Amino acid sequence: MDLKQLRYFLALAQEGSFSRASEQLHMAQPPLTRQIHGLEEELGTTLFVRTPRGVELTGAGEVMLQEVPNILAMVKAAKEKTQYAGKGYLGRLDVGIFGSGILRLIPQLLEQFHRERPLVKLALYNLTKTEQIQALRDRRIMLGFNRLVPNEPDIAVEVIGRELLHVALYEGHPLCGKAAITLRDLEDEPMILYPTTPLRGLALEVMSAFRNDGLRLVVGQEVEDVLTGIALVSARFGLCITTESATSLRLPGVVYRPLDSQWLRDVELCVLYRQNDQSPILHAFLDIMRKSMLASDSGGPRA
């Protein structure tokens, strides 16, 4: 019993006549008759009886008629959903995110994708850079966002933006009176660094910049995320070099000033995904992202 036979059965049941059913199906009557007889033989029961006015359903045929429209509707829906998913309009997008990255650009991109592909379920996971790379390899996420991503042979990385760096100070600190802060201004000031990971990150960039300028860096605290870092500034534990997007964290008693440094001007924001991943949903997101970034100097893909 195949879908073609079910369609022929439904047409004959609705029309009550082989000739009218043949016209509806745009086929000759003899092939239709053979198909119906073949269906009855396969089922081992009679579905129609001939009458002077055409055909009528038997009791078995009535039962069949209750099921066939639902079956055909389910098959049609499955076909449409499969085609929709094949074009990236249906399914699931698992995304790795991190600290300050979720404060500005990433939510904008996700909102735009959701607006254009509302049937794709978005699932967000707060993961470190190392965790994102491993999650991509384990296929637990489809893409991730992070900064200063190392070169990996199986991971593609695209720079999608750069953020200027700022210094977070607590109110009343003498440096609040300056329009911009230099690294020399920060020498011997207790600094709050983040993130504390073995991979290259903002904390290591800060250490390297102080070293390049021959300045002493006093590490007051090392924390895992930007929110904790800014909260410690608010509590007057020290100062923190952070990203422009983090300035939206308006914690009490925190003042932000631009950082003026030849070594620490800005920091990149990247999207990372598996090389050669052919997922239609992934490529739909990347297309939307690239169009959104077209007006900015977003860089290109790198392996």
Full-model pTM: 0.71
- Residue 80: the pLDDT is 84
Are 115 and 263 within one domain? Answer: yes
Where does the pLDDT of residue 302 fall: very low under 50, low under 70, confident under 90, or very high at 90 and above? low
Q: Distance (Å, rounded) from C-alpha 232 to C-alpha 219?
A: 13
Are 216 and 275 within one domain? Answer: yes
Where does the pLDDT of residue 301 fall: very low under 50, low under 70, confident under 90, or very high at 90 and above? low
> Coil, strand, or helix at residue 212?
helix
Q: Distance (Å, rounded) from C-alpha 144 to C-alpha 170?
A: 33
Are 108 and 81 within one domain? Answer: no
CATH number, residue 79: 1.10.10.10
What is the overall mean pLDDT for the chain? 91
- Residue 298: the pLDDT is 42
Are 54 and 121 within one domain? Answer: no
pLDDT in tens, 229-268: 999 999 999 999 999 989 988 899 999 999 999 989 999 9
Are 220 and 234 within one domain? Answer: yes
Are 113 and 154 within one domain? Answer: yes
> Coil, strand, or helix at residue 93?
strand
Q: Domain of residue 173: give its range.
A: 91-303
Answer with the one of 30, 60, 86 that is the final residue of a domain. 86
When divided into structural domains, the chain yields a total of 2
- What integer is the mean pLDDT of 114-138? 94
pLDDT in tens, 45-78: 999 999 988 999 999 999 999 999 999 999 988 8
pLDDT in tens, 160-176: 988 899 999 999 999 99
Share of the chain above pLDDT 90, in %: 76
Q: Distance (Å, rounded) from C-alpha 90 to C-alpha 85?
A: 4
